[in-house]
Structure formats: C-alpha cells, structure tokens
C-alpha cells in the first residue's frame, strides 16, 4: 500500500468513526460537530485521492469557528445532556487518533521531496491539530458541562 492509499484509508476510517459517534451522541450540538469532523475527513480523503494524479486545491476549513458557534448555541438552548464515562472515553480515543494522524502527516511532510507534497501534508497535519483541539473541547464539555459552558474560552482556538 502506498502512502496515499494508506492516508486515504486513515481518513475513511476517521470519517466512519465520527459518523458512528454522531449517531450515538445524545446532544444535538455535539452531534453536529461530530458530523462536521466526518465531513472534514471526507475532504481530506478527496485531497489525497487527487494528489495521486494531479495537484489539488486544499482550502482551509472553518471548523473551529463553526464549532464555536455550535457550542455557543448549546450554552443558550440546551441543558447539558447526561454523558456516560464511555462517551468521554470515545472522544478521548478520537483525540488519540487525531494526534496520530497529525504526527503521521508531519512525518510525511518532513520526508516529502517535492514542495507541493510537503505543503499538502503540512496542511493536513494542521487540520488534524484543529480536530484535536475541537475534541479537547468536547471532552471538557461532556465531562463537566455546567462549569465548561460558564468558563469556555475560545481564544486558544484562534491560533490554528
């Protein structure tokens, strides 16, 4: 399996994982964010597929801004949903996956001989870092919703 096939498989698996999490999420806001993450994984898959044959355009996503808006809606409209320990564990697992993906893309960027491939892999690593930060906020929300909604600060997300 070549690098692109491997990376495409990672993105497909990530999308499937996020769709399963979304299907089981009790909170509609969290469900929407997980679906956005799944959509981003599909975009990554498509970029990688195109890389095999030509130079694709990879637009930056606005997932952190969109997620911020969803969390703000949650704080205004919904009562914190009860969360089981297993849900928090699943979101932490998703964080681990994103961290591994980020590390993988950073490694491939460092190994890339062409500037184009280096750029795409670097940008994918940054996208995976954004997903990691977003999941960190989901973990914070589901493990301590009342306090999190009162104290949520989004300034750290502007860095990405």
Phi and psi for 54 in degrees, rounded to 5?
-155, 180
For the chain, percent of residues with pLDDT exceeding 70: 68
Q: Tell me the per-residue pLDDT of 87-125, one tens digit each, with 9 for 90 and over.
A: 778 888 888 888 888 998 899 899 888 777 888 889 889
Beta carbons within 8 Å of 36's beta carbon, 6+ residues apart: 63, 66, 67
This prediction has a pTM of: 0.69
Instruction: Please give the average per-residue pLDDT across 69-75, as a whole number.
Output: 54
Domains of the chain: 3-159 (1.20.1260.10)
Assess contact for 151 and 137: CB atoms under 8 A: no
Which one-letter DSSP state was computed for residue 84? Answer: -
| pLDDT computed for residue 77 by the predictor | 56
Q: Which two tokens stand for residue 113?
A: 């001989």
Q: Which of 33, 43, 42, 10 is nearest to 136 (CA)?
A: 33
Q: What's the pLDDT at 40?
A: 92
Query: What are 38-66's pLDDT values in tens digits?
Result: 999 999 999 888 876 775 555 555 555 55
Q: Which pLDDT tens digit goes with each residue over 127-159?
A: 899 889 888 888 887 777 555 555 555 445 555
């Amino acid at each position: 399996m070549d690098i692109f096939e491997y990376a495409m498989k990672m993105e497909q698996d990530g999308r499937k994982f996020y769709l399963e999490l979304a299907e089981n999420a009790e909170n509609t806001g969290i469900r929407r964010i997980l679906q956005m993450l799944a959509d981003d994984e599909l975009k990554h898959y498509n970029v990688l597929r195109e890389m095999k044959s030509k130079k694709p355009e990879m637009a930056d996503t606005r997932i952190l801004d969109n997620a911020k808006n969803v969390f703000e809606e949650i704080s205004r409209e919904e009562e914190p949903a009860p969360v089981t320990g297993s849900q928090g564990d699943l979101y932490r697992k998703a964080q681990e996956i994103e961290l591994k993906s980020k590390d993988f893309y950073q490694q491939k960027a460092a190994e890339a001989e062409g500037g184009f491939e280096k750029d795409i892999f670097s940008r994918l690593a940054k996208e995976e870092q954004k997903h990691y930060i977003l999941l960190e906020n989901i973990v914070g929300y589901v493990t301590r919703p009342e306090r999190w909604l009162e104290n949520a600060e989004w300034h750290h997300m502007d860095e990405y």
